[in-house]
């Protein structure tokens, strides 16, 4: 559900989007800000946050939000699943086909109109497994 045609793409917003789309690491706003500063040295963390919020609200990117953990962002808006490390918070894509019929089944069993779903697996990344 991208709405980029209606979204005004400022230079800063475009650079943030370009850098995020190149990453597979699902960075925090702070991590992305450091990367963007290579191209825009004077950009502030507040500007990065505001633009990430606009990009996520318009469906151009995904905001990966879990209570108690720092938000991460994903430039891939396709239907895919994530794996989150409970130790360090790292997020990775899971190479797994989306589960067919999951939304329809959920809708049949509830009075909700299901518009989509997100599935996240939790575990420990290799680094956190070693440190325990």
Residue spans per domain, the chain:
11-74, 81-131
Pick the CATH number of 11-74 from 3.40.50.1390, 1.20.1250.20, 1.10.10.10, 1.10.1740.10: 1.10.10.10
Asked if residues 37 and 43 have their Cβ atoms less than 8 Å apart, the reply is yes
Per cent of the chain over pLDDT 90 is 70
Residue 97 is predicted with a pLDDT of 86
pLDDT tens, position by position, 32-86:
999 999 999 999 999 999 999 999 999 999 999 876 778 999 999 988 899 999 9
* Residues 6 or more apart whose Cβ sits within 8 Å of residue 126: none
Q: Directed axis angle between helix 29-36 and helix 11-22, to 10°?
A: 110
Per-residue pLDDT band for 118 (boundaries 50, 70, 90) equals confident
CATH superfamily, region 81-131: Ferric-uptake regulator, C-terminal dimerisarion domain (3.30.1490.190)
Residue 52 vs residue 90, higher pLDDT = 52
Which tokens in the block code for residue 60? 């151009």
Residue 90 has pLDDT above 60, yes or no: yes
Angle between helices 29-36 and 45-57 (to 10 degrees): 110
Q: Decide if 84 contacts 90 (C-beta within 8 A).
A: yes
Give the pLDDT band (50/70/90) at residue 2.
Answer: very low
The predicted model scores a pTM of 0.81
């Amino acid at each position: 559900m991208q709405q980029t045609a209606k979204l005004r793409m400022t230079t800063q917003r475009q650079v943030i989007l370009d850098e995020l789309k190149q990453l597979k690491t699902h960075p925090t706003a702070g991590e992305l800000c450091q990367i963007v500063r290579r191209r825009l040295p004077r950009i502030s963390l507040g500007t990065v946050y505001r633009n990430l919020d606009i990009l996520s609200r318009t469906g151009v990117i995904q905001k990966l939000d879990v209570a108690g953990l720092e938000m991460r962002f994903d430039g891939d808006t396709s239907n895919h699943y994530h794996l989150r490390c409970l130790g360090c918070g790292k997020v990775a894509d899971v190479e797994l086909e989306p589960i067919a019929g999951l939304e329809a089944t959920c809708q049949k069993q509830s009075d909700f109109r299901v518009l989509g779903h997100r599935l996240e697996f939790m575990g420990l990344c290799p680094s956190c497994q070693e440190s325990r």
